[in-house]
Structure 1
Amino acid sequence: APVYRAWTSGFIRKKLRNRDGIEIPSPEDALERLLAEGVRDVLVQPTFLLQGIEFEELTETLRTYLTRFDRICLGRPLLSEDRDLDRITDAVGASFPQLGQDEALVLMGHGTKLGANQVYRRLAGLFQERGYGNILLGTVEASPGLSEILGELDKRKPEKVLLAPFLFVAGDHAVNDLAGDGPDSWKTAVVSRGYRAECLTKGLGEYPAVRRMYLEHAAEAVPL
């Protein structure tokens, strides 16, 4: 079956168009193309982490096309069920076997104002419960935030702090909010506390175990 990609962010699509001359379709554009090509059965697998605002908007967009296709199936975001949380914890934890006892890994997620944000709190606890005690998880736009992370670091006083994005793509948030040299970046905050900091710009989409999870979610997609 043919595979098409679509991006929900109009801002990013416009930026790529203006800067690089690259045209990426929106979900609506992709669906219209499928209709024009005579496709009747569609499976949509989002690369969102949570069932947040963008997932809700995508779902509503797809519902407006239900009468125009025979069937539209939708896969779950990455972190939708308890088993997903266990698997992502182990996938990330196993990716840092070299992490020393005198080091801490700080993961930066995006965060959401919706109830789905509780996933970050649960994951932060799971890292501790599942044997990855020196992995901390915070968010840019919700809780747990940077202040909580800094408080935890001050309790532990690690020799070195690794900073990595808990984001599908290591994009603007990773480059600026996490690893930037500006006064508000997480790296700046960590260094100003006297810690040695190292930044890793590897998005979750680069982890083989995470890719497998998305493929499984696509295989389990259900009709709208």
Structure 2
Amino acid sequence: MKSLKKLAVTSMACAALLGFAATSHAAYQLSDEVKDATPALLQASQIGVKTNVNKDLANLPDKDAILVLSFGTTFQDSRAKTIEATVDAIKAAHPGVKVVTAFTSHIIIDRIKANEGLDIPTPEKALEQLKAEGYTRIAMTSLDIIPGMEYTYKDAVYNLHKNDFKKMTFGTPLMYWQGQEGQDDDITATMQALSTQFPKMGKKDAVLIMAHGTPHPANAYYAVMQDRLNELGLSNALIFSVEGWPHLDTVIPQLKAKGIKNVTLMPLMMVAGDHANNDMAGDEPDSFKSILEQEGFKVDAYIHGLGENAAVQKLFVEKADQAWEALQAK
């Protein structure tokens, strides 16, 4: 669009009007030809890493923290190997910095409290506690896969609480940029990272990658993922979803047309929780594994969350780094 251009340096004009600044992968800036931009138009141009500066708190000392936001899981083993391992990697990249984890699923938080006695905060409670402890600048980062409904919840938290702090930034999910206008191609990078866990495949072998799916328009990301897999020469790796599109019955005809006999199922989810263990690989007749076997395929299941993949962990650390760098930017 002619009214938007890539923001490569901090925009002092927009910072003065909106209280935000950006790094090279942070956002877009309205064209200089726009002379009378309203606050709503300026806010709409904030795409990518978001930054808010509350000038009323400018005299407070800098005390920085990172808040890592995840949906969460009640599966303890997977939680340790995925969420906790990724948070540990973020901590290792930021020694000496306070790093706090919050879950967005209130149901999961309640179940963990009841079954394990652990108090994991919601994002709102985590921010309240950080403020009470005197932290004035917060870099929020997300362990979401795409910018769907869960990421929208976290974005709402940012918008509702950004002025509680001297400065707050909010990073992007694992897949956000698609290589447009010189930006990073998060989709290709993630598909490359995902492919490191693929088994060796012959012409009659395929990998079925089970995404969650969403009623949010971000469901369209799955089509882009499939496009990138094809571009990478991984056309025998097919995306389908539990609750969105494409469905399993969308890809089964494609498998048969390709002459596929052997299928490996794996989740495109941060953790290997209920969807991976039951919907995907369960023994019930309506599980995806059972349905594929009924269709004549030999099926193996790779029951590991994306957070166990070292290459994916690295990408999440980079996302946290971007939010942190925006927090440190002058």
TM-score (norm 2): 0.65
Q: Which residue of 1 aligns with 2:68?
A: none
Equivalent of residue 114 in structure 1, options 216, 220, 223: 216
| Deviations, residues 18-51 of structure 1 (Å, cap 9, x unaligned) | 2222221110111111011100010111101111
| Deviations, residues 137-192 of structure 1 (Å, cap 9, x unaligned) | 11111111111121111212323110000111111110111001122211011000
Q: Which residue of 1 aligns with 2:142?
A: 46
SS at 1:112's partner residue? coil
User: Distance in 1 between the 2:197 and 2:285 partners?
Assistant: 30
Q: Which residue of 1 aligns with 2:124?
A: 28
1:144-223 matches, within 5 Å, as 144-221=246-323, 222=326
Distance apart, 1:62 and its partner CA: 2.1
Larger-Rg structure: 2
1:66 aligns with 2:162: yes
Equivalent of residue 84 in structure 1, options 186, 198, 203: 186
* Paired AA for residue 171 in structure 2: G
User: Distance in 2 between the 1:51 and 1:75 partners?
Assistant: 11
User: Distance in 2 between the 1:90 and 1:146 partners?
Assistant: 23
Equivalent of residue 151 in structure 2, options 23, 32, 55: 55
Q: Which residue of 2 aligns with 1:18?
A: 114
Equivalent of residue 233 in structure 2, options 126, 131, 134: 131
Q: Which residue of 1 aligns with 2:62?
A: none
RMSD, aligned α-carbons: 1.3
| Deviations, residues 44-67 of structure 1 (Å, cap 9, x unaligned) | 111011111121121112222222
| Deviations, residues 99-118 of structure 1 (Å, cap 9, x unaligned) | 23321110100011111111
SS at 1:3's partner residue? strand
* Paired AA for residue 206 in structure 2: A
* Paired AA for residue 128 in structure 1: N
Aligned-pair identity (%)? 33
Equivalent of residue 94 in structure 1, options 186, 192, 196: 196
Q: Which residue of 2 aligns with 1:7?
A: 103
| Deviations, residues 72-117 of structure 1 (Å, cap 9, x unaligned) | 1111001101111011111122332522332111010001111111
Q: Which residue of 1 aligns with 2:243?
A: 141
Q: Which residue of 1 aligns with 2:205?
A: 103
Question: How many pairs are equivalent?
Answer: 223
User: Distance in 1 between the 2:107 and 2:259 partners?
Assistant: 40
User: Distance in 1 between the 2:245 and 2:156 partners?
Assistant: 27
SS at 1:197's partner residue? strand
SS at 1:220's partner residue? helix
SS at 1:91's partner residue? helix
Distance 1:97 1:201, change over 3 A: closer
